[in-house]
Amino acid sequence: MNRLGDALSLDPERLARAYYHPRPVDPVTKVEDAWPPVKALIVYNSNPAAVCPDQAAVVAGLEREDLFTVVLEQFQTDTADYADYVLPATTQLEHWDILKPYGHLYLALNRPAIASLGESLPNTEIFRRLASAMGFTEPCFRETDEDMLQALLSAQTHARFAGITWERLLAEGFVRLNVPDPANPFAEGGFPTPSGKCEFYSERMLADGYDPLPGYTAPRWLEKQQRAMVKEDGTDNRPSGSHPLFQDTETPLVCISPPAHSFLNSTFANLPRFIQREEQPVVRMHPKDARARNLIAGDTVRVANQNDAVTLVLEITEGIIPGTVLAPGVWWSKLSPDGRNINRTTIQDEADMGAGALFYDTLVQVEKVSLQDHPSVRRCPSTTTDRAPTV
């Protein structure tokens, strides 16, 4: 997901960069081993044209004439616009699932409240039909959703699942995990480490190629910003004693893009009442940075870097620190004034540990633009909540 733009590229060097190697000791894929390119793509439970880093690269991949794309969806998302086929998917109200705890201690059974509407199918049923059409005969491809969920529960051996059965979930709907109250899981040790202790020196980390001791890794934007403030002859261009975040119109700003309060990533971002709450895609900036750039609230601005650019409306607030701008996401591109969102500026790269995306490690320049210079900028269009048609 972090490097989908590279993964869909026809450039062997970019394609090689998309291969996963989460640890320093994992081999980097050679260019000659990265071919052939991706020729078919199935998208489900996601909207990569809106949510992935380096949006321009993702869209370029989706626009390939030789890429066969199928999207399983309820709505005509940005990604569905590039699909060869859109297959109607069920919602949570129409299929079986087990919901694991997220901030609580209960395992919940999601059972269909209504029959599937129209021709919509669960993702799992679509995969079963594909497997059958492709000649796969393994028993797993004939398991129903209920079979899979029962097998999942039966496979749990940890003490916290004691007493949680399929029959009990059917009867009660949700069951508390077998966790003490209060829960003090590491009061007597029991850490998931080879020693069972909280390790300040980790042999496992060393074996994986990391520093075995805790340390500090500076964000990449800080290194880039400091380089930008140093002249070619090595002279530091910052005023004496200034903080590394010292800003002027030449110094890039750090851009962060948390989800807007009314959206859940790109989910709900097509619903009129939530769009009305958010009003329009904006970028928020501290007054100090706005003054340095002769910007005022309500200006239409261009947020840009080496990747690409997006046009947003400026909000000025002291609620953000100088040197940082905030662009709430994740707006659907086609519901944004200039047909793109802030992920035009985010980068395809991973954190040094865990391979997380670097959505908050983005440097941008912000400048005022006029609607005459950007005639494509328009008001957010009206939206529909209709389900996606089968194309």
Mean pLDDT across the stretch 143-151? 96
> What pLDDT is recorded for position 371?
61
Indicate if the pLDDT at residue 17 is higher than 70.
yes
pLDDT tier at 375, thresholds 50, 70, 90: very low
* CA dist., res. 64 & res. 42, Å (int): 15
Of all residues in the chain, the percent with pLDDT exceeding 90 is: 74
Token pair in block for residue 357: 């995306």
What are the phi and psi torsion angles at 246 (to 5°)?
A: -55, 130
pLDDT tier at 21, thresholds 50, 70, 90: confident
Best CA proximity match to 57, nearest among 389, 308, 286? 308
- Structural domains of the chain in order of their starting residue, each with its CATH number: 39-176 (3.40.50.740), 220-368 (2.40.40.20)
Give the global pTM: 0.86
What are the phi and psi torsion angles at 27 (to 5°)?
A: -70, 145
pLDDT tens by residue, 190-217: 899 999 999 999 999 999 999 999 988 8
Task: Give Cα 74 distance to the centre of its chain.
Answer: 19
> What pLDDT is recorded for position 1?
87
Token pair in block for residue 134: 């492709």
pLDDT tens by residue, 91-121: 999 999 999 888 899 999 999 999 999 999 9
CB burial string 60-84: b at 16+ within 10 A, e below: ebbebeebebbbbbbbbbbbbbbbe
